[in-house]
Amino acid sequence: LKYNLDIKHTPLLKRKIIVTVSCILGFVIALCGIYLIGYKAAFNNAEKGEFETAKKYLFIPFITEFHDPNLVTYVNTGILLGQRQFDLAERGFASLSGYLNSEQLVKESKYRHAAQLADANNFDEAIMIYEQLSKEKYKDSGNLILDSRYRKGVYFLYEMRDYSSAEGIFNALKKYGYEKADEMCLETYYL
Protein backbone atom coordinates (compact mmCIF):
# COMPACT_ATOMS: atom_id res chain seq x y z
CA LEU A 1 0.00 0.00 0.00
CA LYS A 2 1.10 3.46 -0.73
CA TYR A 3 0.32 6.17 1.78
CA ASN A 4 -0.20 9.69 0.70
CA LEU A 5 0.12 11.80 3.79
CA ASP A 6 -0.96 15.28 3.35
CA ILE A 7 0.91 17.79 5.45
CA LYS A 8 -2.39 19.29 6.65
CA HIS A 9 -3.53 15.97 8.21
CA THR A 10 -0.26 15.11 10.00
CA PRO A 11 -1.22 16.73 13.34
CA LEU A 12 -4.53 14.80 13.29
CA LEU A 13 -2.69 11.54 12.69
CA LYS A 14 -0.28 12.28 15.53
CA ARG A 15 -3.20 13.00 17.84
CA LYS A 16 -4.86 9.70 16.91
CA ILE A 17 -1.62 7.81 17.58
CA ILE A 18 -1.12 9.60 20.91
CA VAL A 19 -4.71 8.90 21.96
CA THR A 20 -4.46 5.25 20.91
CA VAL A 21 -1.14 4.72 22.70
CA SER A 22 -2.46 6.53 25.78
CA CYS A 23 -5.58 4.32 25.86
CA ILE A 24 -3.49 1.18 25.53
CA LEU A 25 -1.11 2.31 28.28
CA GLY A 26 -4.02 3.30 30.50
CA PHE A 27 -5.62 -0.10 29.98
CA VAL A 28 -2.36 -1.93 30.76
CA ILE A 29 -1.77 0.17 33.89
CA ALA A 30 -5.36 -0.40 35.07
CA LEU A 31 -5.06 -4.14 34.43
CA CYS A 32 -1.78 -4.26 36.38
CA GLY A 33 -3.37 -2.34 39.25
CA ILE A 34 -6.37 -4.66 39.35
CA TYR A 35 -4.07 -7.69 39.22
CA LEU A 36 -1.88 -6.39 42.07
CA ILE A 37 -4.92 -5.67 44.24
CA GLY A 38 -6.27 -9.18 43.52
CA TYR A 39 -2.89 -10.77 44.18
CA LYS A 40 -2.53 -8.99 47.53
CA ALA A 41 -6.06 -10.03 48.54
CA ALA A 42 -5.37 -13.62 47.47
CA PHE A 43 -2.11 -13.67 49.42
CA ASN A 44 -3.74 -12.25 52.57
CA ASN A 45 -6.65 -14.71 52.41
CA ALA A 46 -4.30 -17.64 51.78
CA GLU A 47 -2.22 -16.60 54.78
CA LYS A 48 -5.38 -16.63 56.94
CA GLY A 49 -6.38 -20.07 55.62
CA GLU A 50 -9.35 -18.80 53.60
CA PHE A 51 -8.43 -20.75 50.48
CA GLU A 52 -11.73 -20.58 48.59
CA THR A 53 -11.75 -16.79 48.87
CA ALA A 54 -8.09 -16.61 47.87
CA LYS A 55 -8.81 -18.68 44.76
CA LYS A 56 -11.45 -16.14 43.69
CA TYR A 57 -8.89 -13.34 43.82
CA LEU A 58 -6.38 -15.27 41.71
CA PHE A 59 -8.18 -14.41 38.51
CA ILE A 60 -5.00 -14.57 36.40
CA PRO A 61 -3.10 -17.48 38.00
CA PHE A 62 -0.67 -17.98 35.12
CA ILE A 63 0.78 -14.51 35.81
CA THR A 64 1.03 -15.29 39.52
CA GLU A 65 3.02 -18.43 38.69
CA PHE A 66 5.74 -16.25 37.16
CA HIS A 67 6.51 -14.20 40.27
CA ASP A 68 5.04 -16.31 43.11
CA PRO A 69 4.63 -19.90 41.88
CA ASN A 70 4.08 -21.25 45.39
CA LEU A 71 0.93 -19.19 46.03
CA VAL A 72 -1.15 -20.98 43.39
CA THR A 73 -0.04 -24.39 44.70
CA TYR A 74 -0.61 -23.29 48.30
CA VAL A 75 -4.17 -22.15 47.56
CA ASN A 76 -5.03 -25.27 45.55
CA THR A 77 -3.58 -27.48 48.28
CA GLY A 78 -5.59 -25.61 50.91
CA ILE A 79 -8.73 -26.32 48.90
CA LEU A 80 -7.83 -30.02 48.95
CA LEU A 81 -7.58 -29.80 52.74
CA GLY A 82 -11.08 -28.33 52.85
CA GLN A 83 -12.31 -31.15 50.61
CA ARG A 84 -11.00 -33.73 53.08
CA GLN A 85 -8.33 -35.04 50.70
CA PHE A 86 -5.81 -35.13 53.49
CA ASP A 87 -3.12 -37.30 51.85
CA LEU A 88 -2.90 -34.97 48.85
CA ALA A 89 -3.00 -31.90 51.06
CA GLU A 90 -0.20 -33.22 53.26
CA ARG A 91 2.01 -33.93 50.24
CA GLY A 92 1.19 -30.57 48.68
CA PHE A 93 2.02 -28.59 51.80
CA ALA A 94 5.17 -30.66 52.37
CA SER A 95 6.37 -29.70 48.89
CA LEU A 96 6.06 -26.02 49.87
CA SER A 97 8.41 -26.26 52.84
CA GLY A 98 8.80 -22.87 54.48
CA TYR A 99 6.15 -21.08 52.42
CA LEU A 100 3.61 -19.19 54.54
CA ASN A 101 2.05 -21.69 57.01
CA SER A 102 2.82 -24.82 55.01
CA GLU A 103 4.71 -26.60 57.81
CA GLN A 104 1.81 -26.05 60.21
CA LEU A 105 -0.66 -27.21 57.57
CA VAL A 106 1.28 -30.44 57.00
CA LYS A 107 0.64 -31.26 60.66
CA GLU A 108 -3.00 -30.17 60.39
CA SER A 109 -3.46 -32.42 57.35
CA LYS A 110 -2.04 -35.36 59.30
CA TYR A 111 -4.19 -34.51 62.33
CA ARG A 112 -7.39 -34.41 60.30
CA HIS A 113 -6.39 -37.53 58.38
CA ALA A 114 -5.95 -39.42 61.64
CA ALA A 115 -9.43 -38.34 62.76
CA GLN A 116 -10.83 -39.51 59.42
CA LEU A 117 -9.09 -42.88 59.80
CA ALA A 118 -10.42 -43.31 63.34
CA ASP A 119 -13.93 -42.53 62.11
CA ALA A 120 -13.50 -45.28 59.51
CA ASN A 121 -12.48 -47.76 62.27
CA ASN A 122 -8.88 -47.76 61.09
CA PHE A 123 -7.63 -47.18 64.61
CA ASP A 124 -4.08 -48.50 64.30
CA GLU A 125 -3.15 -46.08 61.51
CA ALA A 126 -4.83 -43.21 63.35
CA ILE A 127 -2.90 -44.04 66.52
CA MET A 128 0.35 -44.18 64.57
CA ILE A 129 -0.25 -40.69 63.13
CA TYR A 130 -1.29 -39.30 66.53
CA GLU A 131 1.92 -40.71 68.03
CA GLN A 132 4.01 -38.87 65.41
CA LEU A 133 2.11 -35.65 66.08
CA SER A 134 2.35 -36.15 69.82
CA LYS A 135 6.16 -36.14 69.57
CA GLU A 136 5.83 -32.71 67.94
CA LYS A 137 3.35 -31.68 70.66
CA TYR A 138 0.72 -30.86 68.06
CA LYS A 139 -2.65 -29.94 69.57
CA ASP A 140 -4.14 -32.71 71.72
CA SER A 141 -2.59 -35.62 69.81
CA GLY A 142 -1.38 -37.28 73.00
CA ASN A 143 -4.93 -37.44 74.35
CA LEU A 144 -6.26 -38.64 71.02
CA ILE A 145 -3.94 -41.64 71.13
CA LEU A 146 -5.76 -42.84 74.24
CA ASP A 147 -9.17 -41.86 72.83
CA SER A 148 -8.48 -43.84 69.67
CA ARG A 149 -7.42 -46.86 71.70
CA TYR A 150 -10.60 -46.50 73.72
CA ARG A 151 -12.68 -46.33 70.55
CA LYS A 152 -10.86 -49.40 69.26
CA GLY A 153 -11.74 -51.25 72.47
CA VAL A 154 -15.39 -50.20 72.16
CA TYR A 155 -15.36 -51.34 68.53
CA PHE A 156 -13.96 -54.75 69.50
CA LEU A 157 -16.44 -55.04 72.35
CA TYR A 158 -19.68 -54.10 70.62
CA GLU A 159 -19.07 -54.59 66.91
CA MET A 160 -16.64 -57.51 66.76
CA ARG A 161 -17.73 -59.21 70.00
CA ASP A 162 -14.04 -59.87 70.62
CA TYR A 163 -14.15 -59.68 74.42
CA SER A 164 -10.55 -60.71 75.09
CA SER A 165 -9.11 -58.04 72.77
CA ALA A 166 -11.42 -55.42 74.26
CA GLU A 167 -10.40 -56.47 77.77
CA GLY A 168 -6.71 -56.17 76.88
CA ILE A 169 -7.23 -52.68 75.47
CA PHE A 170 -9.24 -51.45 78.47
CA ASN A 171 -6.76 -52.93 80.97
CA ALA A 172 -3.91 -51.17 79.15
CA LEU A 173 -5.87 -47.91 79.28
CA LYS A 174 -6.38 -48.36 83.03
CA LYS A 175 -2.60 -48.37 83.43
CA TYR A 176 -2.48 -44.97 81.71
CA GLY A 177 -5.17 -43.68 84.07
CA TYR A 178 -7.79 -43.29 81.36
CA GLU A 179 -11.05 -42.39 83.11
CA LYS A 180 -13.52 -44.49 81.15
CA ALA A 181 -11.37 -47.64 81.22
CA ASP A 182 -12.61 -48.95 84.60
CA GLU A 183 -16.24 -48.72 83.54
CA MET A 184 -15.54 -50.45 80.23
CA CYS A 185 -13.59 -53.24 81.93
CA LEU A 186 -16.67 -53.96 84.04
CA GLU A 187 -18.85 -53.79 80.92
CA THR A 188 -16.53 -56.24 79.15
CA TYR A 189 -16.63 -58.66 82.09
CA TYR A 190 -20.41 -58.37 82.17
CA LEU A 191 -20.81 -59.09 78.46
Percent of the chain with pLDDT over 90: 63
Q: How buried is residue 136: exposed, middle or buried, by Cβ count under 10 Å (0-12/13-18/19+)?
A: exposed
Cα–Cα distance between 163 and 167 in angstroms, integer? 6
Q: Give the pLDDT band (50/70/90) at residue 1.
A: very low
Q: What is the pLDDT of residue 9?
A: 55
**Helices H / strands E in the chain, number of each:** 10, 0
pLDDT greater than 50 at residue 59: yes
pLDDT greater than 60 at residue 21: yes
Mean predicted confidence (pLDDT) in 91-118? 95
Lowest mean pLDDT among 2-16, 56-70, 78-92, 160-174: 2-16
Q: Give the pLDDT band (50/70/90) at residue 121.
A: very high
Closest CA to 74 of 49, 57, 53, 56: 49
Q: What is the pLDDT of residue 130?
A: 96
